[in-house]
Structure 1
Amino acid sequence: MNPHHHLDPSTVVSYAAGALALEVAIVAATHLETCAHCRGRVGEAERIGGQLVEQQQPSAADADRLADLRASILHRLDEAAAPVAAAMARGAPYEDDDRLPTPLHPYFGTSYRSLKWRWMAPGVHCIRASGTRTGTLLMLKIGAGRSMPVHGHGGTELTQILRGAYHDALGHFAPGDVADLDSDVEHQPVTVPGAACICVSALDAPLRFPGWLARKLQPLFKL
């Protein structure tokens, strides 16, 4: 698999530093399972960050605190990298038609067949993850040839395509691609004909809908 849409540089740096919200980090790790390009960028960011820490010249009073901070950062990086390393050891994801990417297992299970979809709108089903913290982590299944409402973002939206595909003003997004969006983006995803599009999304703020009907329904959908 050779993704064409990658993590934004700011997301790469934040992931390497362990600074992403949990929900966003889960989707980023899902992308990293399939994307050697972004794994290389994360590795480079970790290397540069380590050099900056090493170059600090703390006073004696701050030395212990800096050492604890560095140990904490390295521990968080190891935790974030563990699901990706485990997946790589077993082989590339998406080759097994029924296996969900490894970073999603604690929140959605291991198998597509075991997913318990809930109706959200005509042609649209979703599953909300449990066990997350402040943001929203959900999996969406959108029927082939469906148009989603035009919307913008109150904050970050990170979406990884697992199956199927969609297109919008930003391009064509297929399995392995990630849409790394911020509050400046307004778009309308349209799924391609043939098969449903399944994706996993993290939101750290509610969506913004310019259409009155979508705004009316937003409290019901909790997006």
Structure 2
Amino acid sequence: MNPIGQTHEQPLDTLLAGYARGVLSAPLHALVATHLAIRPEGRRYVAALEAATAADIERVEPVSIADRDARLAAIFAAGESTPGEPIRSPAASGFHGDDIVPYPLARYLGASLADTPWRTLLPGVKEFRVSDNEDGEATLYWIRGGRKIPSHTHEGSEYTLVLKGAFSDMNGHYLRGDIAIADMDVDHQPHADPGEDCFCFAVTDAPLKLTGPIGRIVQKIFRH
């Protein structure tokens, strides 16, 4: 049984395995942790992966570490923040989230949806790029009911978690807590269900490529 929703099993298994091993980027880690907060039934599956990872580690022979004490001191001095994890306000560590944004994502964002500095991408579609670099993006989307995201394809992989409402694309229909996974073979135009706004958190490991005449105009305006 797929614990996350409608998506392809192989990319999903790879994502969950990366989470269990602790090797995901900060935004992807927050995405999966937020999914598990919304869909706690998936925690058993992830726990099994974590147990398998721990068993593999136990079979590895220990090796000596040069400057062990100095390295431990550096780790403790660094505190508990995840490398590369943006903490955007002093109160972030005390922000407990809400019904739309559970704690793992609220902690990553450091703000509530009400405090998010949205910008209009198209009429009825707003975005907030949480992080943006040459390796990809982490973006919040606010899509009015019945509206569409510009058509786009991918230079890598795109992981989209539904926080509120629902949307559909060529691969299926996604509800709150579902993770949709798309890659460079997918050229799609997600659209929110009529009657309710849709909030999503999307993470890419490479830049998106907007397609179609409207998409090319939007990309020229907002991506340069």
* Partner secondary structure for residue 152 of structure 1: strand
Q: What is the identity, as a one-letter code, of the residue corresponding to 2:57?
A: V
Distance in 2, Cα, partners of 1:176 & 1:133: 28
- Structure 2 equivalent of residue 156 of structure 1: 157
Percent identity (aligned): 34
Aligned residues: 195
Q: Which of 30, 38, 42 is equivalent to 1:34?
A: 38
Question: How many angstroms does 1:176 deviate by?
Answer: 1.2
- Alignment of structure 1 residues 130-169 onto 2, 5 Å: 134-169=135-170
With normalisation by structure 2, the TM-score equals 0.73
1:13 aligns with 2:20: no
Q: Which of 34, 44, 50 is equivalent to 1:46?
A: 50
Structure with more helix by fraction? 1
Inter-CA distance 206–134: structure 2 relative to 1 (3 Å threshold): closer
With normalisation by structure 1, the TM-score equals 0.74
Distance in 2, Cα, partners of 1:131 & 1:182: 18
Q: What is the identity, as a one-letter code, of the residue corresponding to 1:159?
A: T
Structure 2: segments with no counterpart, 5+ residues? 73-79, 83-95
- Structure 2 equivalent of residue 103 of structure 1: 104
* Partner secondary structure for residue 128 of structure 1: strand
Question: How many angstroms does 1:156 deviate by?
Answer: 1.8
- Alignment of structure 1 residues 1-223 onto 2, 5 Å: 4-5=5-6, 8-57=12-61, 63-65=63-65, 96-97=98-99, 100-129=101-130, 134-222=135-223
- The answer to whether the 8 Å contact 1:31/1:160 transfers is yes
* Partner secondary structure for residue 194 of structure 1: coil
Structure 1: segments with no counterpart, 5+ residues? 72-77, 81-90
Q: What is the identity, as a one-letter code, of the residue corresponding to 1:41?
A: Y
* Partner secondary structure for residue 113 of structure 1: helix
Query: Which 10-residue stretch deviates more, 5-14 or 157-166?
Result: 5-14
Question: How many angstroms does 1:183 deviate by?
Answer: 2.4
Q: What is the identity, as a one-letter code, of the residue corresponding to 1:144?
A: G
- The answer to whether the 8 Å contact 1:22/1:133 transfers is no
Inter-CA distance 9–37: structure 2 relative to 1 (3 Å threshold): farther
Inter-CA distance 182–130: structure 2 relative to 1 (3 Å threshold): closer
